[in-house]
Structure 1
């Protein structure tokens, strides 16, 4: 898995690389700049107008080196350095002098030096990188304001200038570049994976710049980014002599009057993910619906006609998922409390089950150890009894909650985060905005429940379930488009997602 580091760790690894590889810092800057330039060359038009805005630190040095490389490939560039005090880092100064031998480089010292940005120009942003620790002000803020107001495509080097690597609660949102793409060095940066980055980073590309693998391996972190190679190792191989009992029994408690679609989606996803036997516990109003829509599932009718209100005693044989479409009726709340008393193995808890827990503090203490809860941000904030300031604070709260109740949390969204009882965080790399539609979470609940039934450890079930869910969504989007895709389409691509892992 790719490790995610803080600013001091990144700086330490950079220094370690220079020492261990016997290179200079300017050599490392050149390597990083060449790697980003090669990415840019693939889709930039040599005839297109490109404006490069650089700072006076090492991120500015990266941008100036990128400008020099692009010039050598016959791209048309205009280069500006924001330098109100003309204090350059040593490596930035070297790249400034090299570039000045090839083209005119203009300094921006005050507001009146800021150029007009023509329409259809590409902007390369290299003002500030991962080392920034205070909001932009003065001419730097003015430059960012002008760039953002131009509405031109912006490609940022390492970070959108003005954004902090971790917590941006104290930052000025008006002082952050709104980038189309961010080419970040070697590792994803935490703030780029949080929902607060939506306006500042439409797409993140991690660029390998050859940092020392030994240094990376030795540096410890609790933050990780899941790649395909990680997910590929998780599926349990199937033996030729397997039978339906080999792949476990799942019990999904789902649905209520008017919400049986949630039960259907979670059931079909559970089956497609490979469970041996599936039983659906639904209100009596949903029996005919399930028997017709999902003939592969067995149906257990609740005694209550419109909501689930009770569950049988013989439940230890199952891996249980609960929540999709069950509503928050008082009888359903009693069912959940009773279930927590009777069943102490890990289960999957989603949707209305989470809303019930949010309304009764005593239920939190009863959640079975190592269970997996799958809230979206609003559901999680409801669980915590208030609204989080930003994504970073929500992540901290999630770590505390997972640790206190000894559970796993799948915090859904772009780069869904899996938080462990030990407060480790695993960010997912699959998925797309087309999945932001009602029913997508019901699919995920069915998938993770299926994996628990197949004897996956809870962490592996969460990681693989989230990865496959996002990958199925990506495959469905290629076929149906993000706008036209439905959760039921994702289910049809679960098999192809498995195949893609091979």
Structure 2
């Protein structure tokens, strides 16, 4: 599914209205759709009380048309104007006499507004839509707007909140929003979903989303900025096992994970790689970690690392002699930042840069923290690398604050991808995957995944898919999508309080099966 920026939507509208689409007809269609949704989501009876918040632009025009239809259906409609409009008669027509219009600039209407809010069944936000810019300088009408939104928040009871295109106060490109933003029950968005609707905190404000093309969708460029990941993205790329298959056909993966203080990270990563279908999984870790892991997962093979408590550079010569036997490598989960381990990881990264085979590599957790401390690290990465930072790790890599990263997640994920030529997965609600010109977004938000170890499982999944020769972007998307869907099953069956990372293993096999055979049913 296409997801677009504010600028792409504005470009589509401009080209649509320059062709054979009549702008006023589009406004009429939008207004009817808004009115119908408001009507069916209230008591839908005579004298149903509905408030429509109207702004100065086309979003407000949509709201005025909705007001006309609702009034003609005998609803009691009140329009709150954030600024003066001279086109009320144009859109309200004969119903203008039946609709009370209140201009917010008139302070003497404050008590009336409060009373109307308390009595209303439905509030329609037709203020700014994508025209809102979170960095804009405050003007008089916006001061009135914030006062109005505060008043609605204060007196809101059970009103159905319907937002037009995107809730006012949400930045359409980033998802950042003002504190006064209403939380919608439903958002009717036009053309396509806006990127800001997929990112927190904006994604928590939109409620149920209805997409209405209005004919404008035909003018949205096929090569838009971003897409939401769906099952249909993987069907052609996934290897399905044939009757004559053997384990060698499904890849060999080297997992460099775990330490004395984080032994479980290796267990989670390796188990996930097995569930993803990797043929042979080899664990390189301290002997202590390997002994624990082999009792939990007897399918593993072990890389001889001696008796050291931590991985160290002494195993490097042996490792580089065998590295070309692997189809994918995962480095980082739970390895710690022990000085000897840091030296080893630095050497491995520099070696892989020079290796002619460009073995696909995933760097996660402490692998990323070690990378961030390497001098000129963006130039030391090989091809076919996947970086999987959470916001804190991304902040360390780019030397930014977490607040900066979260203020525009797509921007910073794209910067890192361009700087490194890697596939970047910026984790968190609305996970973003960027690779070259591809931006993919997971619109599945799962609080149950906010627990230690789920990132290790994600790295193992992606590594398992990579070892089966999926392209990095495909492996990343498949891993993120399967991880999220399994997380939803965990949340559904266990809840998001008592769930733990390893609970994912109960649901991942079935989830992967459903994705792989989605089109075979």
Q: TM-score, structure 2 length as denominator?
A: 0.84
Distance across 2 between alignment mates of 1:277 and 1:40: 56
CA offsets, 1:36-85, max 9 Å, x none?
Answer: 555556655548865332224221222344455556777x6542231432
- Alignment partner of 1:308: what SS? coil
Distance across 2 between alignment mates of 1:304 and 1:238: 38
Aligned residues: 491
Residue in structure 2 matched with residue 332 of structure 1 by the alignment: 341
Residue in structure 1 matched with residue 422 of structure 2 by the alignment: 407
**Which moves more between the two structures, 290-299 or 403-412?**
290-299
Contact 1:33–1:62 (Cα < 8 Å) also in 2: yes
Match of 2:382 among 368, 380, 400: 368
Contact 1:111–1:139 (Cα < 8 Å) also in 2: no
- Structure 2 matches for 1:91-170, cutoff 5 A? 94-97=90-93, 99-100=95-96, 103-114=99-110, 115-116=113-114, 117-118=117-118, 122-133=122-133, 134-135=136-137, 137-150=142-155, 152=157, 154-166=161-173
Counterparts in 2 of 1:477 and 1:141: CA distance versus 1, 3 Å: same
Distance across 2 between alignment mates of 1:351 and 1:143: 45
- Alignment partner of 2:381: what SS? coil
Residue 233 of structure 1 and its aligned partner are, at CA, apart by 4.3
Match of 2:482 among 451, 468, 487: 468
Matched, 1:188 2:188: no
Residue 202 of structure 1 and its aligned partner are, at CA, apart by 5.4
Residue in structure 2 matched with residue 5 of structure 1 by the alignment: 5
Residue in structure 2 matched with residue 351 of structure 1 by the alignment: 365
- Structure 2 matches for 1:467-486, cutoff 5 A? 467-486=481-500
- Alignment partner of 1:403: what SS? helix
Residue in structure 2 matched with residue 25 of structure 1 by the alignment: 23
Contact 2:256–2:283 (Cα < 8 Å) also in 1: yes
- Alignment partner of 2:147: what SS? helix
Counterparts in 2 of 1:424 and 1:104: CA distance versus 1, 3 Å: same
**Which moves more between the two structures, 137-146 or 314-323?**
137-146
Residue in structure 2 matched with residue 224 of structure 1 by the alignment: 227
CA offsets, 1:343-393, max 9 Å, x none?
Answer: 342201101111111223344432222300100111100111231525354
Residue 454 of structure 1 and its aligned partner are, at CA, apart by 0.4
Contact 1:183–1:207 (Cα < 8 Å) also in 2: yes
- Alignment partner of 2:269: what SS? helix
- Alignment partner of 2:78: what SS? strand
Contact 2:59–2:126 (Cα < 8 Å) also in 1: yes
RMSD of aligned residue pairs (Cα, Å): 3.0
- Alignment partner of 2:281: what SS? strand
Matched, 1:397 2:406: no
Mind listing any 5+ residue stretches in structure 2 that lack a counterpart?
A: 353-357
- Alignment partner of 1:31: what SS? helix
Distance across 2 between alignment mates of 1:434 and 1:77: 43
**Which moves more between the two structures, 403-412 or 152-161?**
152-161
Mind listing any 5+ residue stretches in structure 1 that lack a counterpart?
A: none
Counterparts in 2 of 1:296 and 1:73: CA distance versus 1, 3 Å: farther
Distance across 2 between alignment mates of 1:305 and 1:120: 70
CA offsets, 1:375-428, max 9 Å, x none?
Answer: 0111100111231525354533332222222111100011111112x3542212
- Alignment partner of 2:29: what SS? helix
Q: TM-score, structure 1 length as denominator?
A: 0.87
Distance across 1 between alignment mates of 2:241 and 2:211: 36
Residue in structure 2 matched with residue 79 of structure 1 by the alignment: 78
- Alignment partner of 1:475: what SS? helix
Counterparts in 2 of 1:289 and 1:350: CA distance versus 1, 3 Å: same
Distance across 2 between alignment mates of 1:265 and 1:10: 42
Contact 1:250–1:453 (Cα < 8 Å) also in 2: yes
